[in-house]
Structure formats: C-alpha cells, structure tokens
Structure 1
Amino acid sequence: MEDELLLMKNLGKTSAQWLHAAGIHNAADLRRLGAIHAYQAVKTRGFRTSRTLLYAIEGALRDKDWLSLSDADKATLNKQLIGPEK
C-alpha cells in the first residue's frame, strides 16, 4: 500500500514516519489538524525536529515547496506556534 503522506510535497520517509507515530496517517488527517497541531503532535512524541518540519508541513498543505514560503508566512506560523503574547 502506498503511503499517501509520501505523495505530498516536502514530506519524506522520516517526516512521514513521525507523522504516523503522532496518529496522522493521510492527507485528510493532516488537513484536519493543520500544520501547527501536526507539528506539535510530532514534537510531543519526543522527536527532535526543527521548525523546518513545520514549514514542510505547511508547504505540503499548500502543495508548494517549503522554501517558497515567504518570511511573513513563516513568521505567522511561528507566532501561531508560540501563541498569543501575554
């Protein structure tokens, strides 16, 4: 059976394995959760990853290379990840 996550841009074998371990098994799961929650799900499983995974997931959801995300897009993702300032 073909791994649907591997068919998405930016997602390779390791990132797909991490997503599977976090309970994300297909594109529909990933879309339902969104990039922030999917990234957090991977991080809470103890995988040592960087923000590059966050950008890769967002790019996968947009069907574009993560390197083409603008600085503003990345800043928005980082702000959402951190949460509102208090």
Structure 2
Amino acid sequence: MSDPISTIRNLGPASEQSFARAGIHTADALRALGADAAYARLLAAGTRPHFIGYYALVMGLQGRPWNDCQGDEKAALRRRFDAIRSASKGGADPARSALEAALDAIGVIERRR
C-alpha cells in the first residue's frame, strides 16, 4: 500500500478527494504522473482550474511550501498552467461573464457547483 496523497506537502484531504475523482489514489501514482499530467486529469474529472492549486501541487511535489513560488519561476508556471487549461475540455466555461472569467483566472472567484 502506498502513502496517501495527503502525505505530499501542500496537499490535504480535499486534494486527496479531488485526485481520487480523477483516478489518482496514491502519492506514488501522483509522483509518477507528475504535476502537469496529474493536473490535466483533475481538469478532465471536472475540477475547476485554479492557478494557486496548480502551483501548490508543483511546489508540493518538489517538497517546497506552496508560497515558495516567486518571480520568473511563478511566471513560467503560469504559462504551463495556461497551456494545461487551454488543452483541457473543461478549461473554458462559456456561461461565465468576462469579469467572472478574469476573476477565475487570478483565483479569486468562488467555484460554481
């Protein structure tokens, strides 16, 4: 039996549930997939894109605190996040207004259910 996902830094019970819905059940499976592929699976499973959640995952897989991401590194992660989001079928929600989309992009809007 492998360690649960919540043993990875920055990832707790809510993350564990989201990854389970995406078919990722262990820390080893998450590490094997890597941040980008795992995040793409989260989006495919219906998780709303959220940049902070993405970079918290990246930092966690590196054993770093979520808020350790700064400057050029953060900008590069934003480009990767945007590419993953664009490739995802669930990345765009046409029912959202332009303002809602902008707020979602910066991670300050409440999730719709």
Q: TM-score range by the shorter chain?
A: 0.7 to 0.9
TM score, norm. by length of structure 1:
0.80
Larger Rg: 2
Deviation at 1:70, TM superposition (A): 2.2
Q: Which runs of 4+ in 1 moved over 3 A?
A: none
User: What's the counterpart of residue 56 of structure 1?
Assistant: 56
Residues 14 and 34 (structure 1), Cα distance of their counterparts in 2 relative to 1, 3 Å cut: same
- Asked if the contact 2:2–2:27 (Cα under 8 Å) also holds between the matched residues in 1, the reply is no
Residues of 1 paired with 2:27 and 2:5: CA distance?
6
Letter paired with 1:63 = G
Residues of 2 paired with 1:13 and 1:49: CA distance?
18
Task: After TM superposition, list the pairs within 5 Å mapping 1:1-86 onto structure 2.
Answer: 4-81=4-81, 82=83
Q: Once the two structures are superposed, what CA deviation does each residue of 1:30-81 show, in whole Å capped at 9, x if it has no partner?
A: 1111111111111111122411111111111111111012232222222223
Residues 3 and 17 (structure 1), Cα distance of their counterparts in 2 relative to 1, 3 Å cut: farther
Question: Quick one: percent identity of the two aligned structures?
Answer: 34
Letter paired with 1:20 = A
TM score, norm. by length of structure 2:
0.63
- Asked if the contact 1:39–1:53 (Cα under 8 Å) also holds between the matched residues in 2, the reply is no
Deviation at 1:3, TM superposition (A): 5.8
Q: Which has the higher contact order (CA 8 A, sep 6+)?
A: 1
Residues of 2 paired with 1:42 and 1:10: CA distance?
16
- Asked if the contact 2:3–2:28 (Cα under 8 Å) also holds between the matched residues in 1, the reply is no
How many residue pairs were aligned?
83
Q: Alpha carbon RMSD of aligned pairs, Å?
A: 2.1
